[in-house]
Amino acid sequence: GAGVSQSPSNKVTEKGKDVELRCDPISGHTALYWYRQRLGQGLEFLIYFQGNSAPDKSGLPSDRFSAERTGESVSTLTIQRTQQEDSAVYLCASSALVSNQPQHFGDGTRLSIL
Amino acid sequence: RKEVEQDPGPFNVPEGATVAFNCTYSNSASQSFFWYRQDCRKEPKLLMSVYSSGNEDGRFTAQLNRASQYISLLIRDSKLSDSATYLCVVDTTDSWGKLQFGAGTQVVVTP
């Protein structure tokens, strides 16, 4: 497709379960970002990929969070042993290699932990 | 100090009026600047890039002030549909080209 695609669009799960969120960036975009946004709050940076490498993991809130990217394309964000405070919208964005290119966002995954 | 700072607002603006707000950044070497808008419960969408000479897109004007390290966004003839949160984005000049988002400025246009 032409844009960033995220799946699932909505996820409801019980506390303690693991969840996996997927992001398909725009074809050819080497930079990929994951953000978290709680209701009524700003974007919270989680992790950034350049190609398949993650030079900046500084935003991951705990060791329950991990992410990987393969083939310089699809990325998955995994949250283990989910907690209620993990409830948020998880947004993925991609951009071209050079730093003066803007990010393009997917629609996000709305995660609700019961 | 945060790398990118914005007044959270809200800026309450009568329809048809002009509103302007700034975004300050801490890295004097930053080269790339953008404004995004985010509607409630939606993803951020690119509004416009900010060029060093300033640029205009319809009712929207963006300016860059390198000396004082801020960018601004001005909206003329505000429409109800302009109500949104406006996010400032600045590159961090790390070797990887990472972009940094501000927390956003909320604008509410009233009839």
Chain-chain contact of B43 with A106 (C-beta, under 8 angstroms): yes
For an interface test with B, the pick among A29, A32, A43 (most B C-beta atoms closer than 10 Å) comes out as A43
Residue B11 CB-density burial (10 A; 0-12 exposed, 13-18 middle, 19+ buried) = middle
Beta strands in B1-111 (DSSP E): 4-6, 11-14, 19-25, 33-38, 45-49, 55-57, 60-65, 70-75, 84-91, 99-101, 105-110
Chain-chain contact of B44 with A31 (C-beta, under 8 angstroms): no
Predicted confidence at residue B43, as pLDDT, reads 93
pLDDT of residue B32 exceeding 90, the answer is no
Identify the helix (H) or strand (E) that includes residue A105. strand A104-105
On whether any CB of chain A is under 8 Å from the CB of B107, the answer is no
Q: Give residue B99's pLDDT band: very low, low, confident or very high (50, 70, 90).
A: confident
Low-confidence ranges of chain A (pLDDT < 50): none
Q: Give residue B95's pLDDT band: very low, low, confident or very high (50, 70, 90).
A: low
- A42 closest CB neighbour out of B31, B34, B103: B103
Assess contact for A109 and A89: CB atoms under 8 A: yes
Cα–Cα dist A68/A48, whole Å: 10
Q: Is A80 left (phi over 0), alpha (psi -120 to 50) or beta?
A: beta
Among the residue ranges A85-99, B15-29, B66-80, B88-102, the one predicted with the least confidence is: B88-102
Q: Give residue B103's pLDDT band: very low, low, confident or very high (50, 70, 90).
A: very high
Average of per-residue pLDDT across B17-23:
97
Question: Across chain B, what does the average pLDDT equal?
Answer: 92
Question: How does strand B84-91 pair with strand B105-110?
Answer: antiparallel
Cα–Cα dist A59/A66, whole Å: 11
For an interface test with B, the pick among A100, A109, A112 (most B C-beta atoms closer than 10 Å) comes out as A100
Chain-chain contact of B89 with A98 (C-beta, under 8 angstroms): no
On whether any CB of chain A is under 8 Å from the CB of B98, the answer is yes
Residue of A nearest to B94 (CA): A99
Chain-chain contact of A95 with B100 (C-beta, under 8 angstroms): no
Identify the helix (H) or strand (E) that includes residue B94. none
Q: Give residue B52's pLDDT band: very low, low, confident or very high (50, 70, 90).
A: confident
pLDDT of residue B91 exceeding 80, the answer is yes
Average of per-residue pLDDT across B84-97:
81
Smallest CA-to-CA distance from B102 within B91, B84, B87 is with B87
Average of per-residue pLDDT across B82-95:
86
Chain-chain contact of B89 with A103 (C-beta, under 8 angstroms): yes
As a whole number of angstroms, the longest Cα–Cα distance in chain A is: 41
As a whole number of angstroms, the longest Cα–Cα distance in chain B is: 47
Predicted confidence at residue A55, as pLDDT, reads 81
On whether any CB of chain A is under 8 Å from the CB of B66, the answer is no
Predicted confidence at residue B5, as pLDDT, reads 94
Residues from chain B that touch A108, judged by Cβ atoms under 8 A, are 43
B106 to chain A nearest CA, in Å? 11
Average of per-residue pLDDT across B19-31:
92
Predicted confidence at residue B93, as pLDDT, reads 66
Predicted confidence at residue B51, as pLDDT, reads 86
Cα–Cα dist A31/A25, whole Å: 9
Q: How far apart are the first and last CA of chain B?
A: 37
Predicted confidence at residue A33, as pLDDT, reads 92
On whether any CB of chain A is under 8 Å from the CB of B57, the answer is no
Predicted confidence at residue A99, as pLDDT, reads 60
Q: Give residue B97's pLDDT band: very low, low, confident or very high (50, 70, 90).
A: low
Chain-chain contact of B100 with A45 (C-beta, under 8 angstroms): yes
